[in-house]
Amino acid sequence: MSVAIVIGGSSGIGQATAVQLAQRGVGVILTYSGNPAGAEDTVAAIAKEGGTAVAFRLDVGRTTEFAAFREQVATALRDTWQVDRFDYLVNNAGFGGMAMFEDVTEDLFDRFMNVLLKGPYFLTQTLLPLLAEGAAIVNVSSSSAVPTGSAEPGYTAYATMKGGVIVWTRMLAKELAGRRIRVNAVSPGPTHTRLADANGVVGFDAYPDVIPMLAAKTALGRIGEPGDVAAAIVSLLGDESRWITAQNIEVSGGFDL
């Protein structure tokens, strides 16, 4: 049986990805940080689909937690699925927000770096011994980091880290090709999630007036839903994308086209 690890699976894109993977018969290990109730909801939703999932708390911004997490993963693989390797990794955890360049503090810069770039980088390195030959990885970046995307004020720090994810994806795909491990990225546009900003304010629920403006700038006429992005992630992980690696796919409905 195939098993996936979805980092940041307690809500939004990660939650939708976990559920869609379970619908394909994949076992799921998901992580959460500040939303244990959401993680429980994800596990329950997967159980309702007839699947199996376990959830572990993990702060992606703290590399000191990674070794213990790997041990939790190894135990779960053995005890829950009777395997010693997992097949899919989705690096999705993060937080959003904006700050004008002159207002970006070193602390905020480091928080973005630790959670959005350094964390996924070293977590993937830590989990690599448990990743099966022929596995697949999808890293979640952002349309703000795409060279042809919209350059909005206030995202110098955030987009820099997400741009780093795209570069890392390409380089990692080259290095892991010898093990037939595919590595791709997706770059969502505006998506209706509960992703919190640096101050803990939660997404579009806090700023509903922004939605019509963003929808008007999107070719397909609405902002994205978590399931839209999850469908792209799951497809990239699946066998139908077996000849795709080192790519970044913008999943934005044509935002700012």
pLDDT tens, residue by residue, 81-124: 999 999 999 999 888 888 999 999 999 999 999 999 999 999 99
DSSP-based three-state secondary structure for 153:
coil
Provide the pLDDT for residue 208. Answer: 78
How far apart CA 174 and CA 160 sit, in angstroms, is 22
φ/ψ region of 25 (left if φ > 0, alpha if ψ in -120 to 50, else beta) reads: left
pLDDT band at residue 233 using 50, 70 and 90 as cut-offs: very high
Residues 6+ apart with CB under 8 A from 207: none
Quote the pLDDT of residue 188. 95
pLDDT at 218: 94
How wide is the angle at C-alpha 224 spanned by C-alphas 234 and 219, nearest 5°?
Answer: 115
Mean pLDDT (whole number) for 219-245? 97
Paired residues of 140 in beta bridges? 186
Catalytic residues: 158
Residue-range domains of the chain with CATH: 3-251 (3.40.50.720)
- Is the pLDDT at 157 greater than 90, yes or no? yes
The overall average pLDDT reported for the chain is: 93
What pTM was computed for the model?
Answer: 0.94
